[in-house]
Amino acid sequence: MTLNPDAQRWNARYLRQAAGPAEPPRQLLQDVAHRLPASGLALDVAMGRGSNAALLLERGLRVIGFDISWVAARYAKARWPALNVAVLDLTQAVLPSDTFDVILNFYYLDRALWPQYWRALKPGGWLVIETMTRDMLRLKPDLNPSYLLEPGELRTAFADWDVFLEYEGWCASQDGQRSAVSQLAACRPHTAAFASLAGGGR
């Protein structure tokens, strides 16, 4: 059996980190957590070692985390047994409709998932999304541009959503350096009556 190259790469990376503690939840999530529902079902897309998912667990939600790395999933499940984890390749995922109250998408860029987020959330459900932008190439020119957002891309793609928070610029990253990021916290509207049919986020 040939293992997916992304799974191999991420498993190797997480195995190197095995002795270290999980990183804290992302600052954006800490900042908006009080606005999120305290019950219901959340999905953490590309969950990693589970810190973000755990914050939602502690808030009272049931949480399922998807990740391609079984090393990360095993770490998360051992640390937070109440967490549901699934090891899968998100490039092949079809999310169920009208199912989630919250979706987290931190530092994993797959634009093909974006229209699925609208359908997978219940009306009024929350999407919290953050990843790096092309400006990051000024600091790290070797990054793969296909993992980086274009300027203004999130704002445009999710223009039909009820946006609670939107930011694009530099912020402190978890490794103590700076990152160029785009952040968005938004709700799937209860009614799409006034929404443009052209929106890329759904």
| Site residues for ligand SAM per CB under 6 A | 6, 10, 26, 46-48, 52, 66-69, 72, 89-91, 106-108
Residues of 132-155 as b/e, b for ≥16 C-beta within 10 angstroms? bbebbeeeeeeeeeeebbeeebbe
CB of 38 to ligand SAM, least distance (A): 21
We find the least distance from the C-beta atom of residue 171 to ligand SAM, in angstroms, to be 14
**If you ran DSSP here, which 8-state letter would residue 35 be given?**
G
Nearer to ligand SAM, 97 or 174 (CB): 174
Distances (CA, A) of 20 to 54, 74, 116, 129: 17, 15, 34, 25
Residue closer to ligand SAM, measured from CB, 23 or 166: 23
Residue in the shown chain whose Cβ atom is closest to ligand SAM: 48
- Whichever of 116 and 160 has its CB closer to ligand SAM, that residue is 116
Please tell me the total number of residues recorded for the chain in this structure. Answer: 202
Please identify, using beta-carbon distances, which residue of 41 and 43 lies nearer to ligand SAM: 43
Nearer to ligand SAM, 131 or 160 (CB): 131
Query: Minimal distance in Å, beta carbon 26 to ligand SAM?
Result: 5
Place of tokens 């090891």: 87
Quote the CA–CA distance of 135 and 127 in Å, as a whole number.
23
Nearest-approach distance from CB 51 to ligand SAM, in angstroms: 7
Q: Please list, residue by residue across 162-183, b when 16 or more beta carbons sit within 10 angstroms of its beta carbon and e when fewer do.
A: eeeeeebeeeebeeeeebbbbb
C-beta of 79: minimal distance to ligand SAM in Å?
A: 14
Element (DSSP H or E) covering residue 123:
strand 121-132
